[in-house]
């Protein structure tokens, strides 16, 4: 088999942090090589060293000439159009000017390849995060590189898009491209991996074959087995804590009724564009709405007023940690304190940081943390505020298996204390496994509600259902 990239003994420090410690890695032509490891294990750092963004402290790399990388953090220009972003750096030119017509002609082809149907003239900032990710993928594909590295591309994708991406990856593999794939979704690994390099604390602790079991993968990466992936501990539901009724925003969502009781976890499932995030944001007061009411613990909230919502006991962990969740210029501690500025409590702060096992110091700039650990900071900020009702929008995006379970345990603790959780998630096993009831949304409406123990097929049947206008 042809080896495309050979890396030997890669070591990389950030100050006192040893991010990589003597890692070896081979990438063959026509293979999908998965990098697996906990948050902060060094996966992204390895990718950045391969891509030449970071220089390694020691070690050698051969053969990284034809390389395309999709980084974990999106690298699109929000103010530019989809087409312009696709061809950024190599805008087609005519007579020295940007050839807009040519660009518009070629953009649909590229978008088609990833199955994305958006207007090439739309501004990227108006698209959802999943669509943005697909644009990144299309852009990387256009480079026709010999090695394609994908750092957690599926973290923000739904199943349909993930399927599409895995198909594309299989096709590329067939064409002899070497692929490096990072994901925390073990099922995806089982579907596509040829080899799995497991990283732990910056060291490569083993290379597994395509038939590795989930159990084996988890043990190797976490260092201990995990018995229950979705350890939901149910409570007897109390009085309603969050009541959304008749919520309508023209053209976005209609007549949405959702009630979450004390001690309950209610899930919201649905396809991208079903209006789940929009409902969550409207309920929390980030956006306005036309009709309907939102009440917390029986008290109606004013529209479009985040502070009032927080005061009433509502919290929202937003879906896009970088744009909506974190102050990247600030430290971990400062981010954790963002909601509770008025009554700071450094003991509880350290307590939460420890419970979430955030890999990083409280005084460290949050931008130095790995993606998954940043996500834990956003969640921690709200746990610190201890709201009556916490809305979680894709809370475990980019979080490793072990840390996911810890977040689920924290959800359990909240509900055990009589709090309520509204869980918006595109991760079907998660939303089914952790919710006491699942509300399925389609086309901006509630398509139905399923009790605990529903199957993925039942959820999907509701999610794709056509609703007459």
Partner 1 sequence: MSTISIRKYASENGALAGLVVLALVIAFMQPAFLNAQNLLNVGVQAAVIAIMAFGMTFVVVAGGIDLSVGSIAALAALVGALTAGPVGLVVGALCGLVNGALISYGKLPPFIATLAMLSVARGLTLVFSEGQPHETDEVVTFLGSNLAPMLPLPLLLMLAFFGITGLVLTRTNLGRRMYAIGGNEEAAKLSGIDVRRTKLWIYALSGLFAAAAGLVLAGRLGSAGPQAAVGYELDAIAAVVIGGASLSGGVGRATGTLVGALVLAVLRNGLNLLQVPPFWQQVVIGAVIALAALLDSLRRR
Ligand X SMILES: Nc1ncnc2c1ncn2[C@@H]1O[C@H](COP(=O)(O)OP(=O)(O)OP(=O)(O)O)[C@@H](O)[C@H]1O
Report the interface residues with ligand X, using CB under 6 A: 14, 17, 19, 37, 39-45, 72, 359-360, 368-373, 398, 400
Contact of residue 19 among ligand X, Mg ion, partner 1, none (CB under 5-8 Å per partner type): ligand X
Least distance CB 375 / partner 1 (angstroms): 13
Least distance CB 201 / ligand X (angstroms): 9
Smallest CA-to-CA distance from 236 within 264, 207, 202 is with 264
Rounded distance between C-alpha atoms, residue 128 and residue 165, angstroms: 17
| Assigned token pair, 323 | 């744009």
How many residues sit close enough to partner 1 to count as binding (CB under 8 A)?
A: 24
- DSSP-derived 3-state class of residue 144: coil
> Mask: binding to partner 1, 16-55, rule CB under 8 A, as x and -?
x---------------------------------------
Contact of residue 131 among partner 1, Mg ion, ligand X, none (CB under 5-8 Å per partner type): none
Identify which of residues 43 and 276 has a Cβ nearer to Mg ion in the complex: 43
| Assigned token pair, 58 | 């020691």
Residues 270-329 contacting partner 1, CB under 8 A: 284, 286, 306-307, 310, 316, 318, 323-329
Identify which of residues 44 and 204 has a Cβ nearer to Mg ion in the complex: 44
Identify which of residues 254 and 396 has a Cβ nearer to ligand X in the complex: 396
Least distance CB 7 / ligand X (angstroms): 14
Q: What are phi and psi of 392, to 5 degrees?
A: -110, 120
The verdict on 190 binding partner 1 (CB under 8 A) reads no
Show the 3-state SS of 285-308. Answer: CCCCCCEEEEEECCEECCCCCHHH
The verdict on 334 binding partner 1 (CB under 8 A) reads yes
Rounded distance between C-alpha atoms, residue 387 and residue 162, angstroms: 33
Contact of residue 323 among Mg ion, partner 1, ligand X, none (CB under 5-8 Å per partner type): partner 1
Task: Report yes or no: 258 and 422 within 8 Å, Cβ to Cβ.
Answer: yes
Contact of residue 37 among partner 1, ligand X, Mg ion, none (CB under 5-8 Å per partner type): ligand X
The verdict on 145 binding partner 1 (CB under 8 A) reads no
Contact of residue 341 among Mg ion, ligand X, partner 1, none (CB under 5-8 Å per partner type): partner 1
**Rg of the chain taking only CA atoms, in angstroms:** 22
Task: Report yes or no: 91 and 46 within 8 Å, Cβ to Cβ.
Answer: no
| Assigned token pair, 4 | 């495309």
Smallest CA-to-CA distance from 158 within 454, 445, 402, 460 is with 460
Identify which of residues 286 and 330 has a Cβ nearer to ligand X in the complex: 330
Identify which of residues 305 and 351 has a Cβ nearer to partner 1 in the complex: 305
Contact positions toward Mg ion, by CB under 5 A? 43-44, 72, 370-371
| Assigned token pair, 150 | 């994908």
Contact of residue 464 among ligand X, Mg ion, partner 1, none (CB under 5-8 Å per partner type): none
Residue indicated by tokens 């496994």:
433
- Output the CA angle 156-157-162, nearest 5 degrees: 145
Contact of residue 337 among Mg ion, partner 1, ligand X, none (CB under 5-8 Å per partner type): partner 1
The verdict on 381 binding partner 1 (CB under 8 A) reads yes
Query: Out of 51, 205, 207, 330, which residue is the one contacting partner 1 (CB under 8 A)?
Result: 330
| Assigned token pair, 386 | 């201890």
Identify which of residues 14 and 94 has a Cβ nearer to ligand X in the complex: 14
Stretch that binds partner 1, among 98-106, 190-198, 334-342, 431-439 (CB under 8 A): 334-342
Smallest CA-to-CA distance from 41 within 403, 349, 408, 429 is with 403
Least distance CB 369 / Mg ion (angstroms): 10
Task: Report yes or no: 310 and 338 within 8 Å, Cβ to Cβ.
Answer: no
Identify which of residues 306 and 460 has a Cβ nearer to partner 1 in the complex: 306
Least distance CB 127 / partner 1 (angstroms): 16
Q: What is the DSSP letter of 16?
A: T
CA 461 from centre of chain: 24
| Residue of this chain nearest to Mg ion (CB atom) | 44
Rounded distance between C-alpha atoms, residue 311 and residue 385, angstroms: 10
Q: What are phi and psi of 177, to 5 degrees?
A: -75, 145
Rounded distance between C-alpha atoms, residue 309 and residue 294, angstroms: 9
Residues that bind partner 1 (CB under 8 A): 15-16, 284, 286, 306-307, 310, 316, 318, 323-330, 334, 337-339, 341-342, 381
């Amino acid at each position: 088999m042809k080896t495309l990239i050979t890396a030997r003994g890669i070591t990389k420090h950030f100050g006192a942090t040893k991010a990589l410690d003597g890692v070896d890695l081979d990438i063959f032509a026509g293979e999908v090589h998965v990098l697996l490891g906990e948050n902060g294990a060094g996966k992204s750092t390895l990718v950045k060293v391969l891509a030449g963004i970071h220089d390694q402290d020691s070690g050698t790399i051969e053969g990284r000439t034809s390389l395309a990388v999709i980084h974990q953090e999106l690298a699109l220009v929000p103010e530019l159009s989809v087409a312009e972003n696709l061809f950024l750096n190599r805008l087609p030119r005519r007579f020295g000017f940007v050839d807009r017509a040519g660009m518009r002609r070629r953009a649909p082809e590229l978008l088609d390849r990833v199955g994305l149907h958006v207007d090439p003239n739309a501004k990227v900032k108006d698209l959802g995060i999943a669509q943005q990710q697909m644009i990144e993928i299309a852009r990387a594909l256009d480079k026709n590189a010999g090695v394609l590295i994908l750092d957690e591309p599926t973290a923000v994708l739904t199943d349909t898009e993930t399927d599409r991406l895995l198909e594309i990856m299989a096709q590329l593999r067939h064409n002899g491209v070497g692929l490096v794939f990072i994901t925390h979704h073990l099922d995806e690994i089982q579907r596509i991996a040829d080899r799995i390099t497991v990283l732990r604390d910056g060291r490569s602790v083993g290379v597994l074959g395509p038939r590795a079991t989930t159990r084996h993968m988890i043990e190797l990466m976490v260092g201990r087995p995990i018995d229950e992936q979705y350890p939901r501990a149910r409570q007897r539901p109390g009085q309603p804590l969050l009541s959304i009724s008749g919520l309508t925003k023209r053209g976005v969502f209609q007549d949405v009724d959702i009630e979450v009781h004390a001690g309950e976890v209610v899930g919201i499932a649905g396809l991208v564009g079903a209006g789940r995030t929009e409902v969550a944001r409207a309920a929390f007061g980030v956006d306005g709405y036309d009709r309907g009411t939102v009440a917390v613990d029986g008290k109606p909230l004013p529209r479009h007023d985040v502070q009032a919502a927080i005061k009433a006991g509502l919290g929202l962990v937003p879906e896009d940690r970088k744009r909506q969740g974190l102050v990247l210029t600030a430290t971990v501690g400062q981010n954790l304190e963002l909601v509770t500025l008025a009554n700071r409590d450094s003991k509880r702060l350290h307590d939460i940081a420890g419970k979430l096992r955030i890999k990083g110091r409280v005084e460290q700039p949050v931008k130095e943390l790995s993606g998954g650990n940043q996500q834990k900071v956003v969640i921690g900020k709200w746990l610190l505020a201890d709201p009556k009702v916490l809305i979680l929008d894709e809370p475990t995006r980019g979080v490793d298996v072990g840390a996911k379970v810890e977040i689920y345990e924290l959800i359990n603790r909240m509900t055990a204390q009589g709090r309520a959780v509204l869980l918006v998630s595109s991760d079907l096993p998660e939303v089914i496994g952790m919710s006491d009831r699942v509300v399925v949304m389609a086309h901006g409406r509630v398509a139905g509600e399923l009790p605990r123990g529903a199957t993925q097929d039942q959820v999907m049947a509701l999610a794709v259902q056509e609703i007459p206008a």
